[in-house]
Amino acid sequence: MLKVAVVGCGGIANGKHMPALAKIKEVEMVAFCDLQRERAEKAAKEFGADGARVYTDYKEMFAKEKFDVVHVCTPNKSHADISIAAMEAGSHVMCEKPMAKTYADALRMVETAKRTGKKLTIGYQNRFRSDSQYLHKACRNGDLGEIYFAKAHAIRRRAVPTWGVFLNEEEQGGGPLIDIGTHALDLTLWMMDNYKVKSVKGSVYKKLGDQTETGNAWGDWDPKEYTVEDSAFGFITMEDGSTIILESSWALNTLDVDEAKTSLCGTKAGADMKDGLRINKAEHGALCVTKPDLKAGGVAYYDGTTVTPGDAEARQWIDAVLNDTEPVVKPEEALVVTQILEAIYESAKTGKQIDF
């Protein structure tokens, strides 16, 4: 039985991590830590094993107890310090996305994992959707040929998260780019199996954050608290000459809305997730589009199956710990995602291209 501790008992812990772990028979959640003690107590009562302990200081928790696995579900700013402390205390770590607020912090996490021999993975659960799984297998099989152009989509019309610290640049490091753009970029790089970046050019905008009557899905935001961007875009060139365009926004005057999706163009075929998964190619002298039936055995939240991407993510992670195998999301891959996101912010700030 793996003993698991959860640090950060807010929205993502309650919405994904703890419900998924509760379904795994080889796991027991024995400790919960949150700056707000009542949240940790609520989590312990709902998800904890008998006698589960509650803490408000992760350092005290690691000093008093030993855990097989730690899940880090805190704001981006503290991902690195908590993950590093957990690995140094002897635990394998699942850290929620993005890996860290900065590339330097993410690099420290990778180096600590190597030094301690502990497993580290990042919570990119969109890899476990049925459309993502199918497309990844197609890419690995060479069905698309050489993928030389791609788009990473993370666009909302008006869906700014107005709770927690999402609007706080100091805690999060940014807005939609680091929050949802990170998912789209991770998917795209994973499909291409290409992590060698040559250069990045970025544009970052805060054009709608000062508005008060917003039509926002989660209610009007407070402009005084809105300290991050509302849109960010990146032009990424890889060492092999391939190109990725990353688009991310919480609030944009557009009807072309897509989130955590990718479009790929290869020498043999193309693919996109615009209207379900679509594969396009020329065949027997004619253009054709195929749409795989992904309902049977899928793992998407929306396709009628009982296994969510969060459930599948947790199951493979725990299996990796139990069987001493590599997790699906490798820390070195997540490190490149964070490096690109930081480069987009830096490029926008300086007005210059960032060369790797």
CA-to-CA distance for 127 and 130, rounded, in angstroms? 8
The domain boundary, picked from 123, 139, 157, lies at 123
Same domain, 349 and 202: yes
Examine the domain organization and report whether 159 and 262 are in the same domain.
yes
161 and 273 within one domain: yes
What gap in Å lies between CA 106 and CA 83, rounded to an integer?
10
**Residue 294: per-residue pLDDT:** 84
203 and 285, same domain (yes or no): yes
Last residue of a domain, one of 89, 123, 157: 123
Q: Which residues of the chain have pLDDT under 50?
A: 296-304
Q: Does some domain include residue 312? A: no
Identify the domain boundary among 85, 105, 123: 123
Whether 119 and 171 share a structural domain: no
CATH of the domain at 81: 3.40.50.720
Q: Is 259 helix (H, G, I), strand (E, B) or coil?
A: strand
CATH number at residue 268: 3.30.360.10
Q: Do residues 32 and 77 share a domain?
A: yes
> Is the domain of 106 the same as that of 238?
no
Indicate whether 323 belongs to any domain.
Answer: no
181 and 145 assigned to the same domain: yes
Task: Please state the domain count of the chain.
Answer: 2
Does 307 reside within a domain? no
Give the pLDDT confidence score for residue 5 in this predicted structure.
98
Q: 3 and 68 in contact (C-beta within 8 Å)?
A: yes
Token digits for 102? 């900065």
Q: Could you read off the pLDDT of 32-63 as tens digits, one per residue?
A: 999 999 999 999 999 999 999 999 999 999 99
195 touches 336 (CB < 8 A): yes
Looking at the fold, whether 60 and 160 belong to one and the same domain comes out as no
* Residue 294: domain span: 129-302+333-355
Give the sign of the dihedral formed by CA 97, CA 98, CA 103, CA 104.
negative
pLDDT digits (tens, 9 = 90+) for 307-322: 799 999 999 999 999 9
CA distance 161 to 165: 9
* Residues 165, 246 within the same domain: yes
Query: What pLDDT is recorded for position 305?
Result: 52
Q: Is the same domain home to 140 and 84?
A: no
Same domain flag for 275 and 176? yes
